[in-house]
Copies of this chain bind each other. A is one copy, B any other.
Amino acid sequence: MQKIIKYAEDNKVRFIDELIELLKIPSISNDPDSKPEMQNCAEWLHNQMKTIGLENVKIYQTGGHPAVYGDWLNAGKDKPTILMYGHYDVQPIDPIELWNSPPFEPVIKDNIIYGRGTTDDKGQFYIHFKSIEAHLKNKGKLPVNIKVIIEGEEEIGSPSLPKFIKDNNELLKCDYILISDTSMYDNDLPSICYGLRGLAFMQIDVTGPNADLHSGSFGGAVENPINALANIISKLKDDKGKILIDGFYDDVLDLSPQERKEFLRLPFDEEKFKKSLDVEELFGEEGYTTIERKSARPTLDCNGIWGGYQGQGAKTVLPSVAGAKVSMRLVPNQEPPKIEELFIDYVNKIAPKTVKVNVTALHSGNGSITPIDTPAVKAAMVALKKGFNIDPVFIREGGSIPIVSTFKELLGADAILLGFGLQDENAHSPDEHFDLRNFIRGICSISYYLDELADLKKYK
């Protein structure tokens, strides 16, 4: 491994030069005029995959923007197969006037590279490429079987990816998926994201009288659908943040003492957090820390509400309808279909007979967890520690990453999320940037990780 790490450090300048080439391609997936640049970027990756030594390299047309695939499957059947996923498409550049340097002409200042796609996700998946190169150039082989898929539609919701995975199930089959497209908890704090929350997104529609009424002539005699809706929403959670839906917590996988201990290690300044949101007091489920509440406990939030008159001034209407969107973040082992059903049953139970209430499930996604004592997670710990010379931390992400659920559903494989970006690197904003120290430490970490993955037995 010494040789491999030395290679990465010796070739640092060239790696960065190559990354700059990649960053110069304006591969904005939501721009209808970008089709040629998307193809251009896919071809650049195709060449690069060949250069680093991948086999079966091919650009796949997906119906949308192309995906680029390559693999190296000669490690032997006893070795795991790792699918490395990344995306070469980037966010739009508006508002362009807020950039301090042109988004597609990368510049480096104080070891930080500025440009669109630096941290999201070109700079990050290129770490994987260079780790593969370092292994193949120095040892002539990889310690595990590797498949690489880089798609071009992540920033527009990966519309073609599910069909592509279904159509190419055998091609993409793997034991684990490795993704570097998230952030570290803090700089100098390498992080393993081992859990994501799931989602059940509902809509409640309340109908009162069959037409908007004059609140003077009818007010007091007939139920107001907004008041009825507010009453329903107020009964979804108690004043200590506990969700009141019958059976909601039945399947929740409790946080283990070890997980809670790991969370306590994470530096967190509650005063700074409150100040950043400009709130006097935080609010969340009793008995849990803020970090646990926002990443590892199930939640319920209204995402939207409407009804009656929303303009300036007064209008004395007693409206016919009102509605709200309510979503629940779910944790392992909560199943979205069951939660949807519990939600519908509960709302129907508490709804007054004075209005008609209709509850619809709009969208859902599974949460996921790769227990922190899973060998592949333990191996990541060791690799990150070697790559950064710092003990890494475990984190869980409060949101859902749709591609992770998609991979889990269609390939049955868990994802290991090793992000090397930072939360304040302006992904999706002007002056997006990426700390090149983490680029190099990432290459070393992933190089170590491939090595550790080859011998998972020792982590069992």
Interfacial residues, chain A to chain B (CB-CB below 8 A) = 197, 199, 201, 208-211, 213-224, 226-227, 229-231, 233-237, 239, 241, 277-285, 290, 293-294, 297-311, 313-319, 322, 324-325, 327, 329, 352-356, 362-363, 397-400
- Structural contact, B303 and A305, CB atoms closer than 8 A: no
Among B226, B281, B301, point to the contact of A324 (Cβ < 8 A).
Answer: B226
The smallest C-beta distance from A314 to any residue of chain B, in angstroms, reads: 4
- Structural contact, B216 and A398, CB atoms closer than 8 A: yes
- Structural contact, A281 and B354, CB atoms closer than 8 A: yes
The smallest C-beta distance from A282 to any residue of chain B, in angstroms, reads: 6
A313 to B364, CA, bound (A): 11
- Structural contact, A304 and B307, CB atoms closer than 8 A: yes
- Structural contact, A209 and B279, CB atoms closer than 8 A: yes
Residue in B closest to A197 when the chains form the complex, CB atoms: B216
The smallest C-beta distance from A217 to any residue of chain B, in angstroms, reads: 5
- Structural contact, A303 and B294, CB atoms closer than 8 A: no
Which of A239, A317, A400 gathers the greatest number of chain B CB atoms within 10 Å? A317
- Structural contact, A310 and B314, CB atoms closer than 8 A: no
- Structural contact, B285 and A308, CB atoms closer than 8 A: no
- Structural contact, B313 and A362, CB atoms closer than 8 A: yes
Contacts of A355 in B (CB 8 A): 279
Among B305, B308, B316, B362, point to the contact of A199 (Cβ < 8 A).
Answer: B316
Contacts of A301 in B (CB 8 A): 215, 219-220, 224, 226-227, 318
Among B231, B299, B308, B316, point to the contact of A399 (Cβ < 8 A).
Answer: B316
The smallest C-beta distance from A426 to any residue of chain B, in angstroms, reads: 15
- Structural contact, B304 and A319, CB atoms closer than 8 A: yes
The smallest C-beta distance from A160 to any residue of chain B, in angstroms, reads: 19
The smallest C-beta distance from A303 to any residue of chain B, in angstroms, reads: 5
Contacts of A285 in B (CB 8 A): 220
- Structural contact, A314 and B308, CB atoms closer than 8 A: no
Contacts of A211 in B (CB 8 A): 277
Contacts of A299 in B (CB 8 A): 215, 219-220
Residue in B closest to A277 when the chains form the complex, CB atoms: B209
- Structural contact, A308 and B325, CB atoms closer than 8 A: yes
Contacts of A315 in B (CB 8 A): 303-304, 325
- Structural contact, A230 and B234, CB atoms closer than 8 A: yes
A221 to B327, CA, bound (A): 15
Contacts of A308 in B (CB 8 A): 302-305, 325
Contacts of A306 in B (CB 8 A): 305-307, 310
Among B209, B217, B329, point to the contact of A219 (Cβ < 8 A).
Answer: B329
Residue in B closest to A224 when the chains form the complex, CB atoms: B301
Contacts of A281 in B (CB 8 A): 223, 352-354
- Structural contact, A224 and B302, CB atoms closer than 8 A: yes
- Structural contact, B353 and A297, CB atoms closer than 8 A: no
The smallest C-beta distance from A448 to any residue of chain B, in angstroms, reads: 29
